Amino acid sequence: MLYIPHMGRPPLILVTPSIERRGVEFHDLSASLSVRYNNAILKAGGIPVTAPTTTDRAVLAECVRRTDGVLLTGGDDINPELYDKKLPRKVLKTVEQTPDGGERDARELVLIREIFRQHKPVLAICRGHQMLNVAFGAKLVADIGQQVKTPVNHRRMDQPLELVHEVALTPGSLAAKICKTTVLGVNSTHHQAILQPAAPFVATGVSSDGIVEVMELKKKSLPFFLSVQFHPERLVQKHARYRAIFQKFVEACGKNKN
């Protein structure tokens, strides 16, 4: 399904790509985006538009203006210089940053500023979840294995399409309403994390070890805001509640159309 008839023109969703050191064509530095993000948006009735690989503030502001919402995706680690300049060397060794010299970090910081300035709906996933926290001045756990005592394995790269641990959702939260539950099974493929949300946010989903798996706004200042550590786009084929996340996001974008 490409669009939902009652919505009229399908909303345009700006989607942030990852950066690869070697792409298919000529092995250039390349933009990369899992088709699962696009497919999840398309099936929910939106049209995905990949964000350009620029750090030009005016261009990025115009991209946000011309689209109806923004999806901040997963990918490589965020530069620790942006959130904690005193990390031990053994922790720094675990960080795998984007190969573009920090341009993705800079680009997404601009996009986040514009999302809030222009009051656009946003869905943030994994890296995007973490980048929101960094953008508002809070720290990250750079490596769960070294910095958090936990029996939970958050880096299940062997089962990216499976529910591998549970998250307790706050009753009455947006996430609980969308997913129609207060105990949510999630996939988990990350080694960085949030323990303390930045000032505008509140944790509405937490794993048993205290890691923040879902964040929402304390005060509703955007038409839609949901930030998750897990990857719902990888779960939409098997589970209706993850499809509902994209459906509610795209619906909000549809109501916010230019």
**From 20, 114, 233, 251, the catalytic residue:** 233
Q: Taking residues 64-86, what's their average pLDDT?
A: 97
Give me the percent of the chain exceeding a pLDDT of 70.
97
Q: Is 191 a catalytic residue?
A: no
Q: Taking residues 161-189, what's their average pLDDT?
A: 97
Let me know: does 138 contact 115? Beta carbons within 8 Å. Answer: no
CB within 8 A of 99, min separation 6: which ones?
19, 20, 21, 29, 76
The pLDDT tens digits of the residues spanning 21-43 come to 888 888 898 999 999 999 999 99
What does pTM read for this prediction?
0.95
Q: How many CB atoms lie within 10 A of CB 61?
A: 16
What integer pLDDT is reported at residue 23 of this predicted model?
85
Q: Taking residues 132-158, what's their average pLDDT?
A: 94
The pLDDT tens digits of the residues spanning 122-138 come to 999 999 999 999 999 99
What integer pLDDT is reported at residue 24 of this predicted model?
87
Q: Which domain holds residue 251?
A: 5-255
Q: How far apart (Å, rounded) are the C-alpha atoms in residues 243 and 43? A: 9
What integer pLDDT is reported at residue 256 of this predicted model?
83
What integer pLDDT is reported at residue 26 of this predicted model?
85
Average pLDDT, whole number, for the chain? 94
The pLDDT tens digits of the residues spanning 112-124 come to 999 999 999 999 9
Let me know: does 41 contact 250? Beta carbons within 8 Å. Answer: yes
pLDDT for 1 beyond 60: no
Q: Is 239 a catalytic residue?
A: no
Q: What is the CATH number of the domain that holds 158?
A: 3.40.50.880
The pLDDT tens digits of the residues spanning 178-224 come to 999 999 999 999 999 999 999 999 999 999 999 999 999 999 999 99
**From 154, 165, 191, 231, the catalytic residue:** 231
Q: Is 63 a catalytic residue?
A: no
Q: How confident is the model at residue 257 (pLDDT cuts 50, 70, 90)?
A: confident
What integer pLDDT is reported at residue 12 of this predicted model?
98
Q: How far apart (Å, rounded) are the C-alpha atoms in residues 26 and 48? A: 26
Q: Taking residues 76-104, what's their average pLDDT?
A: 95
**From 126, 129, 154, 213, the catalytic residue:** 126
Please count the structural domains in the chain.
1
Of 224, 217, 218, 228, residue with least CA distance to 256: 224
- 184-196 core/surface letters (b: 16 or more CB in 10 A; e: else): bbbbbbbbbbbbe
Q: How confident is the model at residue 4 (pLDDT cuts 50, 70, 90)?
A: very low
Q: Taking residues 71-87, what's their average pLDDT?
A: 96
